[in-house]
Amino acid sequence: MSVDPQVILLTGCASGIGQHLAGAFAQRGWLVMATDVAMGRLEEACRTGGWPSDRVVTRALDVRDRAAWAEVLAATEDLLGPPDVLLHVAGYLSPGYIAECDPMDIDRHLSINAAGVMQGTRVVLPGMIERERGHIVVVGSLAGIAPVPGIALYSASKFAVRGFTLALAEEVRPRGVAVSLISPDAVETPMLDLQVHREEAAMTFSGARPLRVEDIERAVFDTVLPHRPVELTLPGHRGWLARVGGAVPGLSRGIGPLVRAVGRHRQRRYRRGGR
């Protein structure tokens, strides 16, 4: 089941998952509002990616700023049309143990990862409800299902995202709007690269291999858009492990040292380029 090209508003498009998805949507004929707080890098991504100017518009957006969200929505409606899909990708991660972290990172994680999703959804959602159609897609993390020591702030922010998204899905389902949460394992992006030399982040690397942005692309176009699941975990088996770890903290405590040891080994291998 395919989805005909529509209008999409995307965040976090200057790098990583958001950059790749912006190009993927444009290639499929969608009209794309690609946004990021780093406008210079966003414009460079647009140039190097060859995003077609007749289908892609770029705008600066700090997802924490509700007024900026309103401006971007107005520009989307004016230049492309009302968004059929809102896809939240923008995120922030700074690894570190809580006792040693920068106190400002508490606000950064929660305001960008969680409040940013909430602010943007609050701005875009009324129009979707009025039209009785629309799809809000949020990129979460398996760290929002099972707590991950060493990136506790990121994990906490993604727990908030998951709770918000799952509750929102039930609120708006009777009003014609779908909500989907994609919860992937580690993905090969700049966000993963910044963890590779940090011992605290060893558990991030405990999977057999990091996902690639192409894996997220396939999930979006093959599953999320056509079938609109409330939650999709990637890969599926890691999703089940995360659910068990989140539901039974005592079990996680027991196997944590083993998972961390595996993560350290694979982190070193990733650092050497053995991906």
Helix (H) or strand (E) holding 23: helix 16-27
Q: List for the chain the helix, strand, coil content (%; round to 5).
A: 55, 15, 30
Burial classification of residue 34, based on how many CB atoms lie within 10 Å of its CB (0-12 exposed, 13-18 middle, 19 or more buried): buried
**pLDDT for the residue numbered 272:** 79
Q: Which residues pair with 183 in a beta bridge?
A: 233
Q: For 163-195, how does the pLDDT look when each residue is reduced to its tens digit (9 = 90+)?
A: 999 999 999 999 999 999 999 999 999 999 888
Enter the pTM of the model: 0.93
**pLDDT for the residue numbered 110:** 98
Backbone angles phi, psi at 272, to 5 degrees: -85, -5
Taken in order of first residue, the domains within the chain and their CATH numbers are: 7-196+209-248 (3.40.50.720)
Taken in order 201, 139, 232, 244, the sign of the CA dihedral is positive
CA 204 to chain centre: 16
The residues annotated with a catalytic role in the active site are 154
Mean pLDDT calculated for residue range 226-238:
94
